[in-house]
Structure 1
Amino acid sequence: MKVDPSLDVTEKSLQNMLFSSSDFKSSTFQSGNRSYRLFYLDTMIELAVVQEHVIRPLLQQTEDLNLREIVSVLECSETELLSDAVNALVQGKTVLQIDGKMKLYLLGTEVKKERSVNLPVNERVLRGSNEALIENVHTNINLLRKMIVTPDLVVKYYLVGRRSNTKVALLYLQELANEEVIQEFERRISLIDIDYVEAPGFIQELIEDRKFSLFPQLMITERPDRVRSYLMNGKMGILTNGSPDCIILPVSFWAFLQSPDDYQVGWLLGSAFRFLRIISFVVAISLPGAYVALVTFDPRMLPFEIALTLQSSMQYVAMPPVLEAIFMLVTLEVLREATVRLASPIGQTIGVVGGIVIGTVVVQSNLVSTMMVIIVAFTAVASFSIPSYEMSSAVRLLSFPFILMAATFGLIGLELSYLIVFTHLARLNTMGIPYFYSGLNKNTIMDTLFRGPIRSLKERTKESLSKDNSRIRIRRGKHE
């Protein structure tokens, strides 16, 4: 719909398109032989900016100049469509019309209120940058541009959601990111047709390859230094307005067992920590199942002293081992969920007191054995050592089918479970790139299973499909 030259007709049209919203305001003033009218949402604009940089220059003009030469607002555009004006209003812009002109000026006067850059909440920093992403996409891009001072850093904006019009930013390094992966992402995000986007969870689920896989196929982080390291490896980052998280793609299975802190310590310590996380991953998945299999089917495989200890702890327990394990793991998940949802001081108290009380009561009432409490506690600690929340949650859920398979088929059930999981991982793709076995390549294994010395990390990871695989060209202080 085109703009009418009459100020009153334009105001009425905009008011109808905004359904007579109470925060829609207009202001008319005269300057020279011109009559101006401002349209705005008073809940979205910075009134001082409008007064100082729009109204005052217009009132002080003495010559018949172009509007762009009069107002001192950096963001100024023109349109002849009322739909563009309405979209600008809900974004916090001020719309200006000159009486008799079939043109609207869109002035950037939106109010900017945001929380300050703070410490990461969900990813604890041991050594390194203490800055965390916030809900404003422009501030997040500012943080990353200060860390990556190069013109190669490309930012592309998209609007996702028919009603929400959520701003999504794609970041990558032009000289490193693979063009085919970028095109594939653009194809997938262009196919998203949804009312609104609850970022980043909606975007993650709508663009990933396998919808029914427990394993996370995209990484979510709130640490800008972690985003920088992945961008430097040829990967891409996705920022969404209103979310303090960044989606990294493509990623492999091994990326979820890595931490930026691995590179802030010596390579021997970094390798030890990373290998410990891999062991924790295996333990968190299979330890309860292994206990159930050994106690139910193959107790003779245990040393005699341990078998006697288990027998004494299970002597008066009424429930079978499989129900013990499931009951304790479900109880643990309920406690964890309760501590997350409650306020921080109360949640910590409930977690500690609830764990002690429940653990003591269930043992004294002979519902579960003391050994099962130890097994479940060790399983929980092992799952919490995984740096990624998504992977840690997937590991805790995977322990349940492992328990059921072990209770049905014994140790053979555990072997079958591992075979199914490894087969699934080997077939899994992320943005069309192998998810699991790329980390076992001989050229990149030193940065997946282990954290090798910096001088040995000569190539970027295979799943990045980077244009430039060479990462370091220095050996013993001399250029190659």
Structure 2
Amino acid sequence: MKACLSIEATEQYFNELFSEQSDYIAKSLMIGGAEIRLFYFDTLIDYSLVQEYILQPLLLRPNDAIQDVVSILDYTETDRLEDAGQAIMFGKAILLRKGENKLYLLGVDLKKERSINIPTNERVLRGPNEAFIENLDTNLNLMRKLISSKDFIVRTYTIGRLSQTKVAVMYIKSIANMAIIEELHKRLSSIDIDYVEAPGFIDELIREKKYSLFPQLLFTERPDRARSYLMEGKAVISTAGSPDAIILPVTFWSFFQSPDDYHSSWFLGTAFRFLRICCFFITIGLPAFYVSVNAFNPQLLPINFVNTLQSSVTNVTFPPVFEALSMILMLEILREATIRLASPIGQTIGVVGGIVIGTVVVQSNLVSNTMVIVAALTGLASFIMPSYEMSSAVRLLSYPALILSSLFGLLGLVFFFMVICIHLCQMNTMGIPYYSPPFSLNDAKDTLFRAPIWSMRKRPGETAPSNHTRLRNPRSWKR
């Protein structure tokens, strides 16, 4: 630990530390007969702030103490050169006056950020239209405005030896399970990595099942959604440089919940929730079911449907399993093409490509008409899920289901769903069962269906919140 020395020794230390940095500046000034040095990166500071809040006040009151003259809220003092060097890299200007054995760390960093915009991946028909951005302070500001309570706690960490990425953990002290918060603190504190590029890094470093396809943390770009999970006793992680926040711990059912469910009537919310869960099974099992029925178990279908199915595959070149694989792969290619291209071009490619490919492959007898319908329904079912991570996992799971069905028929598909169920039951997130069956009435109110708000008096029990009561007398007006 190097202590602050003379001006010359301090400047020599910084010059050696930043000798290869072309944007490092050491400026010498004479104010009121005293020599003053400023050290900073000119690409990180705001010159107008330096001029208005540092230099002009010093020129007016050159003999007063620095802390009485400089009018900057982000103001700290240190006598350690290592701390000052770190502060320079974070965009602060370091001020040193001759004759003083103290360094002044002044927050004059240049803030360049995009404005708060509407969510792009979690759009809703009703509700707020604010989304997180890449600036962590702005994200925390959004959350503070939504939760004006002294129990709303923000704990910050610095992760990454080189990147020094700022990470914030948010929770509500009076509701959250503190055992989970301490476990999260232990896992974050144990991360030793050069840099953190995105929340996905943290997801992989703190998750329990490293090789599971199923997402174990929920990503969101919506502050209102983060608030709703905080109110259930969960924690939210936000990282500097990313517009996505992580919600944990979550269960399997959390990935089928959407903010739209709570901005419409509970009848509609329940119907849409049930539809998403049905689409989970359709995405995984429909192509596999088509192959098994077509090749192994046609007796499971009505005779008229079997005749129609058989007539559609009579002149098809490839067996059903290759039909299904080729069409699902074609859907993935079209999907990737529409994402990577510019928005207007991507939409055109998606529509035109789907129509052209579907028409050509049927007319060429490469696939059957029924398989085109199955592939289209499978693709639409995967897009209905609110979570991109769950949607991607389900699409990948359809491939092993298809292989097993092509080898063992319907028995292979049933076996695959049994393996998935066993795997889900074995998973935990932060010590909480990932697949908590909604057997109790209180837990089922916001899993398989969305119960009326006035009936959800208790918080979900999966995270064991310290305060279970959410509503006390919601309809006291009714006598």
Shorter-chain TM-score category? Answer: over 0.9
Partner of 2:364: 365
Residues of 1 paired with 2:327 and 2:319: CA distance? 12
Asked if 1:20 is matched to 2:20, the reply is: yes
Residues of 2 paired with 1:219 and 1:439: CA distance? 19
Deviation at residue 344 of structure 1 after TM alignment: 1.1
Deviations 1:341-393 (A, max 9, x none): 11111111111111111111111111111111100100110110100000000
Partner of 2:308: 309
Q: Is the 8 A contact 2:4 2:80 kept in 1?
A: no
Residues of 2 paired with 1:90 and 1:436: CA distance? 45
> What pairs up with 1:18-417 in 2 under 5 angstroms?
18-61=18-61, 64-417=63-416
Change in 2 beyond 3 A, CA 1:478/1:467 = farther
Partner of 2:471: 472
TM-score by length of 1: 0.97
Cα RMSD of the aligned pairs, angstroms, is 1.4
Change in 2 beyond 3 A, CA 1:59/1:451 = same
Residues of 1 paired with 2:280 and 2:264: CA distance? 22
What is the DSSP-based 3-state SS (H/G/I as helix, E as strand, rest coil) of the residue aligned with 1:363? helix
Instruction: Structure 1: state its 5+ residue gaps.
Output: none
Deviations 1:7-38 (A, max 9, x none): 23322321221233111112221222421110
Asked if 1:426 is matched to 2:461, the reply is: no
Deviation at residue 6 of structure 1 after TM alignment: 3.1
Counterpart amino acid of residue 140 in structure 1: N
TM-score by length of 2: 0.98
Residues of 2 paired with 1:443 and 1:336: CA distance? 39
Which range moves more in the overlay, 10-19 or 133-142?
10-19
Residues of 2 paired with 1:211 and 1:4: CA distance? 46
Deviations 1:270-322 (A, max 9, x none): 11110111111111110111111100101122111111111111011111111
Q: Is the 8 A contact 2:204 2:210 kept in 1?
A: yes
Residues of 1 paired with 2:437 and 2:92: CA distance? 48
Change in 2 beyond 3 A, CA 1:479/1:464 = farther
Deviations 1:57-108 (A, max 9, x none): 111115x432111101111111222221121111110001112333211100
Which range moves more in the overlay, 168-177 or 464-473?
464-473
Residues of 2 paired with 1:176 and 1:475: CA distance? 19
Which range moves more in the overlay, 464-473 or 160-169?
464-473
Residues of 2 paired with 1:375 and 1:96: CA distance? 69
Residues of 1 paired with 2:101 and 2:405: CA distance? 75
Q: Is the 8 A contact 1:3 1:104 kept in 2?
A: no
Deviation at residue 438 of structure 1 after TM alignment: 4.8
Residues of 2 paired with 1:83 and 1:456: CA distance? 57
Counterpart amino acid of residue 84 in structure 1: D
Q: Is the 8 A contact 1:15 1:21 kept in 2?
A: no
Q: Is the 8 A contact 1:438 1:462 kept in 2?
A: no
Change in 2 beyond 3 A, CA 1:221/1:475 = closer
Q: How many equivalent residue pairs?
A: 479
Which range moves more in the overlay, 219-228 or 342-351?
342-351
Residues of 2 paired with 1:29 and 1:10: CA distance? 15
Residues of 2 paired with 1:162 and 1:452: CA distance? 47
Residues of 2 paired with 1:282 and 1:477: CA distance? 42
What is the DSSP-based 3-state SS (H/G/I as helix, E as strand, rest coil) of the residue aligned with 2:38? strand
Residues of 2 paired with 1:266 and 1:15: CA distance? 65
Residues of 1 paired with 2:19 and 2:176: CA distance? 45
Counterpart amino acid of residue 273 in structure 1: F
Partner of 1:442: 441
Residues of 1 paired with 2:384 and 2:81: CA distance? 54
Residues of 1 paired with 2:188 and 2:142: CA distance? 25
Q: Is the 8 A contact 2:132 2:139 kept in 1?
A: yes
Residues of 1 paired with 2:5 and 2:342: CA distance? 56
Counterpart amino acid of residue 321 in structure 1: P
Q: Is the 8 A contact 2:160 2:196 kept in 1?
A: yes
Residues of 1 paired with 2:439 and 2:109: CA distance? 50
Q: Is the 8 A contact 1:188 1:207 kept in 2?
A: yes
Residues of 2 paired with 1:319 and 1:143: CA distance? 55
Counterpart amino acid of residue 318 in structure 2: M
Counterpart amino acid of residue 48 in structure 1: S
Q: Is the 8 A contact 2:4 2:81 kept in 1?
A: no
Q: Is the 8 A contact 2:136 2:238 kept in 1?
A: yes
Q: Is the 8 A contact 1:252 1:434 kept in 2?
A: yes
What is the DSSP-based 3-state SS (H/G/I as helix, E as strand, rest coil) of the residue aligned with 2:441? coil
Instruction: Structure 2: state its 5+ residue gaps.
Output: none
Deviation at residue 479 of structure 1 after TM alignment: 9.8
Change in 2 beyond 3 A, CA 1:273/1:110 = same
Residues of 1 paired with 2:127 and 2:316: CA distance? 49
Residues of 1 paired with 2:366 and 2:352: CA distance? 19
Residues of 2 paired with 1:213 and 1:456: CA distance? 35
Partner of 1:459: 458
Residues of 2 paired with 1:28 and 1:48: CA distance? 18
What is the DSSP-based 3-state SS (H/G/I as helix, E as strand, rest coil) of the residue aligned with 2:386? coil
Which range moves more in the overlay, 169-178 or 305-314?
305-314
Q: Is the 8 A contact 1:3 1:103 kept in 2?
A: no
Change in 2 beyond 3 A, CA 1:241/1:479 = farther
